[in-house]
């Protein structure tokens, strides 16, 4: 079992940008993150705890400027929360293991799920396929 970290511990462990995005529910600017247009094959893991979240085979170009996936590896790895910030009603997604903010999920994605998991690059670490 992984030890639960305090926010001060997370702040020491993460870069300022990763802390802002993952722990303070920030958003990186569109078209700036490391993975928004990556075509590399592999598994995208939670940047904070290393849990596998998305396969590159489910990544697609949504035109949004953020990495977009149509499904997680296991639905239980992603927690959903109602987000009413910024005058909108959205569904925030977090890592169910460490509660890191990942991004949001929208019902405008491609088949087979019709979902768009719009994820901040700072919330992810890509482990390339062997």
Q: pLDDT tens-digit profile of 21-66?
A: 999 999 999 999 999 999 999 999 999 999 999 999 999 999 999 9
Q: What is the pLDDT of residue 1?
A: 43
Which of these CATH numbers, 3.30.505.50, 2.170.150.20, 3.40.50.300, 1.10.287.3510, describes 7-128? Answer: 2.170.150.20
φ/ψ of 17, rounded to 5, equals -70, -45
119 pLDDT band, cuts 50/70/90, is very high
> Which positions are catalytic?
118
pLDDT higher at 7 or 105: 105
Q: What is the pLDDT of residue 4?
A: 82
Q: What is the pLDDT of residue 129?
A: 81
Q: Are 117 and 54 in contact (CB under 8 A)?
A: yes
3 pLDDT band, cuts 50/70/90, is low
Average confidence score pLDDT of the chain:
94
Q: Where are the domains of the chain?
A: 7-128
CA distances from 2 to 36, 70, 93, 97 (A): 29, 28, 21, 9
Q: pLDDT tens-digit profile of 72-89?
A: 999 999 999 998 887 888
CA distance 26 to 18: 9
Indicate whether this model's pTM tops 0.85.
Answer: yes
């Amino acid at each position: 079992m992984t030890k639960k970290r305090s926010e001060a511990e997370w702040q020491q462990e993460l870069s300022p940008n990763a802390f802002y995005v993952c722990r303070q529910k920030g958003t990186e600017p569109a078209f700036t993150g490391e993975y928004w247009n990556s075509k590399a094959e592999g598994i995208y893991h939670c940047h904070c705890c290393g849990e596998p979240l998305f396969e590159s085979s489910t990544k697609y170009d949504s035109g949004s400027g953020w990495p977009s996936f149509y499904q997680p590896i296991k639905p239980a790895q992603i927690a959903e929360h109602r987000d009413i910030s910024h005058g909108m009603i959205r569904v925030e997604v977090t890592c169910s293991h460490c509660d890191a903010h990942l991004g949001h999920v929208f019902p405008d994605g491609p088949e087979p799920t019709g979902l768009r998991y719009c994820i901040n690059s700072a919330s992810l670490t890509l482990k390339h396929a062997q």
